[in-house]
Structure 1
Amino acid sequence: MSVNLELRVVGPGDDDLVEEAWELKERIRARNGVLKQRRGFFTDAYRRSTVYALVASGPDEELVGFAATRRDGYILFLAIDPDWQGEGLGERLVAAVADDHSSVTCHARATNQDAIEFYQHVGFEIERRVDNYYEDRGNAYYLRLGDGGLTERISSFMRR
């Protein structure tokens, strides 16, 4: 059976998929030890964001990935179900964000090598290190999607 993926955009103030996004984020946290947030913080940030969600259709709909983004193009959360990683879904979500924003930025935990490698793979550049960025005093890198050709490359990903 083939599965179709639908990109849905959930606007600020909309609770659509918030529970599914929390559960996905928690599965990733339990498995990989990353994406740790308090539920209230996550829910509030989700509700203030534009969320780009990838939903698999089939007998039951399933949220397989999402990017929660501020209106300035800052990615607050990017999560892909571990069973779907390696399928280009992270790139697809970043491309959707890049299509809607002139600048795309984010933070990544300095110890999360997988996230840093992913962001660099799709064209992000580390701009600076931010010490004690996270609530647990963990350090982060501030990243920006490269200008010009890199932004166009990731933005055009979905048009191929």
Structure 2
Amino acid sequence: MSVNVDTETARPGDDSYVEAAWKLKERIRHDEDVLKQRKGFFTDAYRRSTVYLLLSKEGGDERLMGFAAVRRDGYILFLAVSPEFRGEGVGKRLVGQVAEEHDTITCHARASNENALGFYEHLGFEVARHIDNYYEDGGDAYYLKLGKSSSLTEKLSEFMRG
């Protein structure tokens, strides 16, 4: 049986897939001790964002592979990839979708989250600054940035060729 990958976009005000995104985020939080936001905060941010989603469809079964919730200014509020789809380019595809709409992409990553930091570094993000006690639980963060106006497209093109 073949697996199809569909791309969906939930525009601000559209809460399609919010429950599936919440469940994925919570599974990652439980297993990896990251993405610790409360449900009200998460749901509100999801509904105010443009959310890019990748879905695996096999027969009648649909699974959320990953999602990126993005503000109008290109700031990624949430980026989550289901563990069983990591290493398959899902995160890169999601960031690529964001790059199609924004000249600059920014986000925060927990300073202790080596997987996320390695992923963002691999895509060409640079650490703009370190922020002490950024998270509610006192955890530190890095503010990351990709692109300087016109160079984002060049960086992603270079990355895709490499």
Q: Structure 2 length normalisation: TM-score? A: 0.92
Identity %: 63
How far did 1:90 drift? 0.3
Local SS of the residue matching 1:57: strand
Q: Which runs of 5+ in 2 are unaligned?
A: none
The residue that corresponds to 2:115 in the other structure is: 114
Q: Which runs of 5+ in 1 are unaligned?
A: none
**Distance in 1 between residues matched to 2:2 and 2:146, nearest whole Å:** 33
How far did 1:154 drift? 2.4
How far did 1:137 drift? 1.4
> Matches of residues 71-86 of structure 1 in structure 2 within 5 Å?
71-86=72-87
> Matches of residues 9-88 of structure 1 in structure 2 within 5 Å?
9-58=9-58, 59-88=60-89
111-120 or 138-147, which deviates more? 138-147
CA deviations 1:37-79 (Å, max 9, x no partner) are 1000100000000000001112211111000000000000000
The residue that corresponds to 2:146 in the other structure is: 145
How far did 1:152 drift? 2.9
CA deviations 1:96-151 (Å, max 9, x no partner) are 00000111000000010110000000110001001111111111000001345554
**Distance in 2 between residues matched to 1:134 and 1:155, nearest whole Å:** 33
The residue that corresponds to 1:96 in the other structure is: 97
Q: How many residues are aligned here?
A: 159
**Amino acid of the structure 1 residue aligned with 2:104:** S
**Distance in 2 between residues matched to 1:54 and 1:156, nearest whole Å:** 23
* Residues 56/85 of structure 1: CA separation in 2 closer, same or farther (3 Å cut): same
Tell me, yes or no, if structure 1 residue 6 matches structure 2 residue 3. no
**Distance in 2 between residues matched to 1:75 and 1:34, nearest whole Å:** 15
How far did 1:157 drift? 7.3
The residue that corresponds to 1:154 in the other structure is: 156
**Amino acid of the structure 1 residue aligned with 2:31:** R
CA contact (8 A) 2:103 2:147 kept: no
Q: Structure 1 length normalisation: TM-score? A: 0.93
CA deviations 1:5-35 (Å, max 9, x no partner) are 1111100011100000000001111111111
**Amino acid of the structure 1 residue aligned with 2:90:** L
**Distance in 1 between residues matched to 2:104 and 2:124, nearest whole Å:** 12
How far did 1:156 drift? 8.1
